[in-house]
Amino acid sequence: MSDVVLTERVGNVLVATMNRPEARNALDPALMDELSEVLRGADADPEVRAVVLTGAGTVFCAGLDLKAFARGADFKKLLWFYHRGIETPVVAALNGSALAGGFELMLACDLVVAAEGAKLGVTEVKRGLFAAGGGTLLSQRVPAAVALEMGLTGDPVTAARAYEFGLVNRVVPADRVVPEALALAGRIAENGPLGVAMTKKLMRERRWCTPAEVESVFGSADAKEGARAFAERRPPAWKGE
């Protein structure tokens, strides 16, 4: 692993920091490859119950590295995360603006804490491209008129405006973004991991649970532990099984 993605464990939360501040954390193949490995690794680690994704410097992510794109670089390694995400909840900590592919990276996360000065935008059309990483699904998250204006003009909106649309959970001063995201992720990590994973899955898929899914959680050791901990007035000791 190189240093293009920095990682730190805070309890059961993994903090992943995209570390190309000189390039506004633009997504080149090296960053996408390493971020892919970090996210897959977090999802495979039962001790990681939430992830905070942020960027170094003053920009969360400016999107595709257009210089590398012009050289014909391959950008497919991270597409799986854009399309289906991971089972572990991910909180995007927008230390600054999230544009184009960076905005779509934010959309692939579950919760968003944004700096007051951050701009959010589907800006691909300004470079002759389109939002192939999920930005064209924006109309499922915000009113169609808003999505079409953002997508067709490429003009970004402020974090405060994105909060009004429901795209952002918190808007805070820049120096409070990571602490607030960590606090939010920590609240998630306190809960039963099986219940959290199923809740995320069903909410993302927008459907009812199946009988098998009910049994997989309600019949688990964690479900019994949650009931015992409640009766004994103590914090539960989750095992994820």
Active site residue 232: no
- Distance between CA atoms of residues 49 and 90, nearest Å: 9
Q: Which of 104, 116, 180, 213 is catalytic?
A: 104
Sheet strands (E) in 2-103: 5-10, 13-18, 50-55, 59-61, 90-94, 97-99
> Is the CB of residue 5 less than 8 Å from the CB of residue 48?
no
What's the CA gap between 130 and 114, in Å, rounded?
Answer: 24
Distance between CA atoms of residues 53 and 42, nearest Å: 12
Give the active site residue among 37, 47, 124, 180: 124
114 φ/ψ sector (left φ>0, alpha ψ -120 to 50, else beta): beta
Q: Is 180 a catalytic residue?
A: no
Find out whether 77 and 43 touch, Cβ atoms under 8 Å: no
Token pair for 57: 């410097």
Contact 192, 223 (CB under 8 A): yes
Tokens of 120: 């959010």
Q: Counting every residue, how long is the chain?
A: 241
Asked if residues 33 and 94 have their Cβ atoms less than 8 Å apart, the reply is no
Residue with tokens 């990276």: 105
> Which amino acids are annotated catalytic?
104, 124
